[in-house]
Homo-oligomer: A and B are copies of this chain.
Amino acid sequence: MHILVTGAAGFIGSHLCDRLLSRGHQLVGIDNLHLGRMRNIEHLSGNPAFRFEQLDCLDASGLDRLFKAARFEAVFHLAANSDIAAGNADRGLDLKLNQLTTTGILEAMHLNGVRRLFFSSTSAVFGEHEKALAEDDGPLQPISFYGASKLAAEAFVSVYSHTLGLRGVVFRFPNVVGERSTHGAIFDFIEKLRKDKSALHVLGDGRQTKPYLYVADLIDAIETAWAEPETALAVYNAAGEGATSVKEIAETVIAHFGTPETKIVYGGGARGWPGDVPRFSYNTAKLRSLGWSPKHDSGAAVRRSVEAIKANGF
């Protein structure tokens, strides 16, 4: 299949490219290199089934040219600002980078007759809830600009799917960890320890506890959802098993990148930042009913990620 991957040089995008290429697909990968890094895909530079182009999904004429030149059969749209704190600091950022990139892709697909879309949404569309929510549950009350912009994008994927013939897979990503990550707690802690091994400053009280999913398990989940028969719109939750506290992540990172003397200094408060959801769990029965389950639980996902980054760098 001839496939476009947006955000191809990003953390998850680059892993997805590896997997799709291993399945024999022909890929064009685009990335504006805002968060993505060429080193994530440099190992693909000699692969005849892969072509990279630096292109921003906000560049409508660039997208149109690309779609007219290549006849894509499917689009995996992963380009986004995945840095939640940055999106809260600049309140217009996520609307542009997460939503308007998506409406741009939707329009390019519609104008060029490309029907199959995989869209990387997020569990943050739900906001903060007591119970484990399934795909069809409400309410959807995001508490971060990241979650709001992804919910807004989902809304437009819904219209193109239900009224304009698109076949959309909306996949709500959980917290994902692994090599090539460009942000998140593990990334931040390692960067901090590289500058100063005496103390690790941690946002919040360290008790924020979340299920982390290892990136290879996420790619398995994407393949599972993608293999399902096409419907107008299919929505999937994915999540790690178990949960890991920020304190445990800090201790794991210190074990590999710190010293026995490294101290953890907590900033205090239940949230790492405004819009941080300190504790959550999602119902993933739908994906599990299709045979998917993660090979690493949350603790193993964190440990394996830290070890892989220690061995090979980000």
Q: Which residues of A contact B (CB under 8 A)?
A: 88, 91-92, 95, 99, 103, 107, 110, 125, 127-128, 135-145, 147-149, 151-152, 155-156, 158-159, 162-164, 233, 235, 274-275
Contact = CB atoms under 8 A, between A and B. Distances in A.
A307 to B, nearest CB: 35
B158 A148 contact: yes
Given A141-B162, A142-B159, 4 more contacts: A137-B137, A148-B158, A151-B151, A163-B275
B139 A159 contact: no
Nearest to A146: B159
Question: Which of A143, A151, A159, A235 is packed against the most chain B CB atoms within 10 Å?
Answer: A159
Contacts of A144: 159, 163
7 contacts: A99-B152, A125-B155, A128-B162, A143-B159, A144-B163, A149-B155, A163-B275
Given A107-B91, A138-B137, A143 B163 contact: yes
A214 to B, nearest CB: 28
Contacts of A159: 142-145, 147-148, 275
Contacts of A156: 95, 145, 148, 152
A88 B99 CA distance: 18
Given A147-B159, A163-B88, A140 B141 contact: no
A163 B156 CA distance: 24
A156 B148 CA distance: 6
A294 to B, nearest CB: 24
A26 B92 CA distance: 32
A155 B156 CA distance: 13
B91 A95 contact: no
A92 B100 CA distance: 11
A137 to B, nearest CB: 5
A151 B141 contact: no
Given A152-B155, A275-B159, A139 B138 contact: yes
Contacts of A155: 125, 140, 142, 147-149, 151-152, 155
Given A138-B137, A143-B163, A148-B156, A103 B107 contact: no
A155 to B, nearest CB: 4
Given A91-B107, A138-B140, A140-B140, A158 B127 contact: yes
B233 A141 contact: yes
Nearest to A161: B141
A80 to B, nearest CB: 15
Contacts of A275: 159, 162-163
A151 B148 contact: no
